[in-house]
Amino acid sequence: MPFPFTRLRRLRQSPVLRRMVRETALQADDLIEPFFVRPGRRTRRPIAAMPGCHQFSVDELVKEVALGRPLGIGAVLLFGIPERKDSVGSGAYAENGIVQESVRALKAADPRLVVMTDLCFCGYTDHGHCGILKKKGPKDWELDNDATLDLIRKTAVSQARAGADLIAPSGMMDGMVGVIRRALDEAGFQNTGIMAYSAKYASAFYGPFREAAESPPGFGDRASYQMDSANAQEALREVAEDVQEGADIVMVKPALAYLDVIRRVKEKFGVPVAAYNVSGEFAMVKAAAAKGWLDEDRSILEILTSFKRAGADLIITYHARAAARLLQKRDW
């Protein structure tokens, strides 16, 4: 009697069975919701390129973040839009800076909330680059890595002093994690963690973010300090340096076009890995869904699950609240 062929479909016959044997579990605890905060009061400014997302004043931010807590979202990532910009991005490290004020307000409202603070200068400089320029001009400029490290150190301590749980340096400066770790330890913030943008690619998928954070470069681009999209081995070298310097979490950004990098980072280092589901990835789903070309709910969960399947432990996503609501239904 011939051996009967395997019926793999037996365990796909009902939603309950499918959930019971599901290999990858996506849950609200995995999600980090990003927010853009700006000066003012009672301000909720829509971001045209990111439907459903807004820039918030601090008072409105506190209200908005609270809406995610019943859904199980316990962590946020903050991006600041300063009142004024200058050549050195001084608003980033001001004790009364917009991010610092936001951290204090969020922690006062909910001490359990995990508050992560992006640390970069592109949104704070008048030229839109991620640090100090050696020469300022459209054809003759270079980012001064070492001078920028001093500003990174000051900003990290300022954010930690305000109450940030994790500092998230995103400028791709060489040595940034080590500088932050030493500065935090020396200032008495040994328990403040670092989530490093370790493999941050020079990507076309950041377009909507630049509108949201009001941070497009005034000239040139960021390809001289962000990674080439063709390189994966380089990502491993970047991650290795950050882990050695003291990163608690490493990040791959963007996520959807770099699932292979997420997998390689997780397999090689075994440390917590964050995937950033960036603005362009978010906007593509929203635009296609608005045209009726995609089922928005299913697309969100399928994309976020792919990050977990690739090896991500944490997901930074503008879909966070929508995904958390869908996960509560448990009918997909």
Q: What does the DSSP assignment read for 126-177?
A: SS-SSS-BSS-SSSS--B-HHHHHHHHHHHHHHHHHHT-SEEEE-S--TTHH
Q: Establish if 182 belongs to a structural domain.
A: yes
Residue 224 to residues 33, 98, 213, 278: CA-CA distances in angstroms? 29, 28, 21, 20
Alpha-carbon distance of 31 to 26, in angstroms, equals 9
Q: Establish if 159 belongs to a structural domain.
A: yes
Residue 220 has pLDDT above 90, yes or no: no
Q: Establish if 192 belongs to a structural domain.
A: yes
Give the residue numbers annotated as catalytic, written as ranges: 200, 253
Residue 133 to residues 92, 125, 214, 324: CA-CA distances in angstroms? 16, 10, 19, 41
Give residue 5's pLDDT band: very low, low, confident or very high (50, 70, 90).
Answer: low
Residue 71 has pLDDT above 90, yes or no: yes
The domain that holds 93 is classified in CATH as 3.20.20.70
Q: What is the CA radius of gyration of the chain?
A: 20
Q: Establish if 311 belongs to a structural domain.
A: yes
pLDDT exceeding 70 applies to what percent of the chain? 92
Q: Establish if 17 belongs to a structural domain.
A: no
Give residue 136's pLDDT band: very low, low, confident or very high (50, 70, 90).
Answer: low
Alpha-carbon distance of 184 to 214, in angstroms, equals 28
Mean of all residue pLDDT scores within the chain = 91
* Mean pLDDT to the nearest integer, 289-309: 98
Q: What is the pLDDT of residue 66?
A: 97
Q: What is the pLDDT of residue 63?
A: 98
Provide the domain count of the chain.
1
Q: Establish if 13 belongs to a structural domain.
A: no
Please spell the DSSP secondary structure of 97-137, one letter per residue.
Answer: -HHHHHHHHHHHH-TTSEEEEEE-STTTBSS-SSS-BSS-S
* Residue 167, domain extent: 26-329
Give residue 297's pLDDT band: very low, low, confident or very high (50, 70, 90).
Answer: very high
Q: Establish if 184 belongs to a structural domain.
A: yes
Give residue 226's pLDDT band: very low, low, confident or very high (50, 70, 90).
Answer: confident
- Secondary structure of residue 239 in the 3-state scheme: helix
